[in-house]
Structure 1
Amino acid sequence: MATILYNNRPATRSTRAFNSVLNELLRDTLPTTTEPAKSFTPQADILESEAGFELHLALPGVAKEAVKIDFQEGKLVISGERKAPEVAEAKEGETQNAPHFRRVETNYGSFTRTFRLPDTVDVTAIEAEMTDGILRVRLPFDGKKVTKYHIEVR
């Protein structure tokens, strides 16, 4: 005897294309906002060579005049600000032709990063340059200071 199954429910098939559903899912995983933040933390890479350390901070859109670098109590403090574009504020009942934020994914506002430096860094020889949105800070070792030294017994 054969068993016949009957499904009286209509086929449930999405009317949207798979690509649009996938795009919607991926887009919704990103944090979104319609107003820029007041502060952010830039990403940093630290490299070490025989000559010293090199610190790279990602600061796209930040002018070199807006960056301040200080050395205080054994710490290197890098601060500054990336200003958000000027946009018009929406007021009730008014239609505006000025641009306004619909989605914000970039970082705006003030930033501060602090790095504790080892005693082997020559603070007076620190150099910094800004190119293509990357702040490169060179932290050379001080040849006079020694962290390790082997003393031979005679």
Structure 2
Amino acid sequence: MATLLYNTRPSLRPSRALSTMLADMLRDPQTAPAQPVPTFTPAADILETATGFELHLALPGVKKDAVHIDFLDGQLVVSGDRPNPAAVAKAAAAPATEASSTPAEAAPETPAAPTFRRTETNYGAFNRRFRLPETVNVKAIGAELTDGILRVTLPFDTEKVTTQHIEIR
């Protein structure tokens, strides 16, 4: 004889649609700040080729005059500044308002500085340090900034001996 089972509990369906639940789960739990922080650390990729290393730093919107590359105590130091657009607009508007000393002179209309509503990019000063191996020829280091990527080439020093086999007599 077959046994019949009945479910006496009500259906356990979610009260919201599945798409709404997924959207809530996948939503970014951290809200982005409305104002940018004063410093940041640029993202870096390090590649090794047959001739040496390549260092790629993501610096979108940074002019090459604002980047400084130094070699100090075995470390490559990349530093600079990426100004935020709100500070640049405020600085440009400030001299125009201070220039008119008499109220009778009509000051030219300057656009208001933009207000950040959400920031996901980084502005401000940056500083990255990379310890270089002994095999890098420091005098032949080169750098190029194109399309927002700083490419630093670190060629191997071919005159240095890094490995050597010594025969026993």
The interval holding the TM-score normalised by the smaller chain is 0.7 to 0.9
In the aligned structure 1, how far is the partner of 2:123 from the partner of 2:40? 7
On the 8 A contact 1:31/1:105 being kept in 2, the answer is no
Q: Which amino acid aligns with 1:108?
A: Y
Larger helix fraction of residues: 2
Structure 1 residues 97, 80: closer, same or farther in 2, change over 3 A? closer
Partner SS for 1:65: helix
On the 8 A contact 2:33/2:119 being kept in 1, the answer is yes
Question: Which residue in 2 is equivalent to 1:53?
Answer: 53
1:133 matched to which residue of 2? 148
Q: Distance in 2 between matches of 1:20 and 1:59?
A: 37
Task: Give 3-state SS (helix, strand or coil) of 1:29's partner.
Answer: coil
Question: Which consecutive residues of structure 2, in runs of 5 or more, have no partner in the other structure?
Answer: 1-5, 91-110
Which stretch of structure 1 is more off in the superposition, 99-108 or 28-37? Answer: 28-37
1:144 to 139, 143, 159: 159
What is the deviation of 1:152? 2.8
How many Å separate the matches in 1 of 2:166 and 2:15? 79
Question: Following TM superposition, by how much is the alpha carbon of 1:31 offset from its aligned partner in structure 2, in angstroms?
Answer: 3.6
Q: Quick check: which has more Rg, 1 or 2?
A: 2
Matches within 5 A, 1:66-85: 66-85=66-85
Correspondence for 2:44? 44
Q: TM-score with structure 1 length normalisation? A: 0.77
TM-aligned CA deviation for residue 25 of structure 1: 5.5
Pairwise CA distance, 1:62? 1.1
Given the superposition, is the C-alpha separation of residues 18 and 146 from structure 1 closer, same or farther in structure 2, using an over 3 Å criterion? same
Which residue is equivalent to 2:62?
Answer: 62
Q: CA offsets per residue over residues 57-99 of structure 1, 9 Å max, x none?
A: 111111111110000011100001111012688xxxxxx9653
Write the letter of the residue equivalent to 2:156: F
Q: Distance in 2 between matches of 1:48 and 1:126?
A: 14
Q: For this pair of structures, how many residues does the alignment match?
A: 142
Once residues 20 and 54 of structure 1 are traced to their aligned partners in structure 2, the CA distance between those partners, rounded to angstroms, is 45
- Ranges in structure 1 where 5+ consecutive residues have no aligned partner: 90-95
Secondary structure of 2:79's partner?
Answer: strand
Cα offsets for 1:22-50 (capped at 9, x unmatched) = 55654442441111110011111111122
Query: What's the Cα RMSD here?
Result: 3.0
Query: What secondary structure does 1:142 align onto?
Result: coil
Partner AA of 1:111 in structure 2: F
Q: Among all aligned residue pairs of Structure 1 and Structure 2, give the percentage whose two residues are the same amino acid.
A: 57
